[in-house]
Amino acid sequence: MDEKQSKRWRLILGQGTEEQLGSPMLGDEDSIMDAALAAIYDGKDTDLDDRWGGVGQCQRFPNISKWLGDVRSFFPPDIVSVIQNDAIERKGLTQLLFEPETLSNVKPDISMVGALMSLRGQIPEKSKESAGALVQAVVDEIMKRIETDLRRAVTGALNKKEHSPLPSLSGTDWKRTISKNLKNYDMANRRIIPERFYFFERRKRSKDWTVILDIDQSGSMADSIIYASVMGAIFASMPALDTRVVAFDTEVVDLTEVVRQDPVDMLFGVQLGGGTDINKSVHYCAGLIENPKKTMFILISDLYEGGVAAGLLRKLQEMKESGVKCMVLLALSDSGTPSYDRDLGQKIANLGIPSFACSSDALPMLVEGAMKGFDLMALAENCKTRDKKSK
C-alpha cells in the first residue's frame, strides 16, 4: 500500500489505526479533515454541545462554527450533506441550529430544512432570519430546477390558442386581419377584400383547471412537503390554474393564500409529526371541487391512516367516478420510495387510483399526462420507469 492509499485509509478509519497502516504522515489539511471527521465518527456518544460548550455557547466556543466551515472547505457538497445529517443524528447538532452563527455556516440542503421545520416553534427570535435564509436558498434551488418544465407541461396540456375561429364583431382583431389581407387590396375600389377575419379568443371567467394538493404533515413526509410547497407556489402563479393547497395531521389547514404569497412562510407554518386523519382532509378537499372533470386531486401521504380508512376509500372512489383526476404520491422527492401502508395503498390502487412515489423530475410528465386525459395507472408506471432509469 503506497503512502497516498495509507493516508486515505487513515482518514476513513480514524485515530488509533496508525500502527496498522504504517503511521502515515498527515499534512495540515489532512489533519483538519481528520479532526472534522473525528468530531462525528470517533465512536463516542458525546454530543457536539458537550464537546464544544453546550447549546447557546457558540460565541464563547467558536469551534462549532469552525467545524462547519472546515467541513464545507475540505469536502465536496454531497459529502457535506451526509456529514451534516450524521452530525444531527449522532451528535445532537440539531440544537446548535438555534444559533445564527451556526446557521450561517450550514450548507443549505433539504435535510436541513426538514430539521428546521420540525423545530420551528423552538427557533429563537435572533435565529429566525438566518433560518429563513437557509430555507429560502433551498426553495429557490428547487424552484429553479423544476419551474420551467412544470410550466411547459401545463401550457402544453392546456394548448391555449391566441385566436379563435368564432366570429364576433367586438372580438375582431383588426390589426391582424388587415395585415394578413393586404395582398387582397382592390386597387379599383380602393379597399381590402378580406379572405379571412381573425378574432381574439373570449376570455374565460373561470380557470381552466383546479389543482388541489393535499399534504400529509407527518414527520416522515418532510422532503415531500418541501417539494409540494414549491409545486404549489408554481401552480398558484399560473393564471390558468385555480390552485388549492391543504395540509393535515388530525386537523385540516388550508394554506392556499400562504403558499401564493411565499412558500417559505408555508413551510414554517407546517407542524411536522402528530396524528394523521387522511379521511377528514380528503372530505374537506372534496368540498372544494366545482368542476370534477377539470380537477386534479393529488394526495401526498404515506397512508398511515389514523382516521376512518373505509370512509377515505369511499370518498376517493366518489371523486374518481365523478371525473376527478385522483392520484396518491407516497413521496414527492428524489430520495426513493418511503415506508408506507402497503395494504391501504393496494386498496386505493384497486380503485384505479395510482399510488406511487414520484421524483421532481418525473412530476411535469405526470401533470401534463393527467390534464391530457391519459390513463393514470399507465402514467404512474411510466413515471416509475423513468425514475428507475435516472438512478
Q: What is the mean pLDDT of residues 43-61?
A: 40
- Grid coordinates of 206: 373561470
Q: What pLDDT is attached to residue 297?
A: 98
Is this structure's pTM higher than 0.75? no
- Model confidence at 321: pLDDT above 80: yes
* Rounded distance between C-alpha atoms, residue 234 and residue 151, angstroms: 8
**Whether the Cβ atoms of residue 46 and residue 38 lie closer than 8 Å to each other:** no
Return the minimum-mean-pLDDT range out of 145-154, 237-246, 377-386. 377-386
pLDDT tens digits for range 251-305: 999 999 998 888 888 888 777 767 789 999 999 999 999 999 999 999 999 999 9
What whole-number percentage of the chain has pLDDT above 70? 73
The most confident of 13-22, 54-63, 75-84, by mean pLDDT: 75-84
Q: What is the mean pLDDT of residues 357-384?
A: 88
CA–CA–CA angle 337, 113, 284 (5° rounding): 65
Q: What pLDDT is attached to residue 27?
A: 63
- Model confidence at 168: pLDDT above 60: no
HEC profile for the chain? CCHHHHHHHHHHHCCCCCCCCCCCCCCHHHHHHHHHHHHHHCCCCCCHHHHCCCCCCCCCCCHHHHHHHHHHHHCCHHHHHHHHHHHHHHHCHHHHCCCHHHHCCCCCCHHHHHHHHHCCCCCCHHHHHHHHHHHHHHHHHHHHHHHHHHHHHHHHHHCCCCEECCCCCCCECHHHHHHHHHHHEECCCCEECCCCCCEECCCCCCCCEEEEEEEECCHHHHHHHHHHHHHHHHHHCCCCEEEEEEEECCCEEECHHHHHHCHHHHHHHCCCCCCCCHHHHHHHHHCCCCCHHHEEEEEECCCCCCCCHHHHHHHHHHHHHCCCEEEEEEEECCCCCCCCCHHHHHHHHHCCCCEEEECCCCHHHHHHHHHCCCCHHHHHHHHHHHHHHHC
Query: Which one is predicted more confidently, 79 or 238?
Result: 238
Query: Which one is predicted more confidently, 210 or 75?
Result: 210
Query: Which one is predicted more confidently, 189 or 212?
Result: 212
- Model confidence at 13: pLDDT above 70: no
- pLDDT grade, residue 169 (50/70/90)? low
pLDDT tens digits for range 362-373: 889 999 999 999
- pLDDT grade, residue 2 (50/70/90)? low
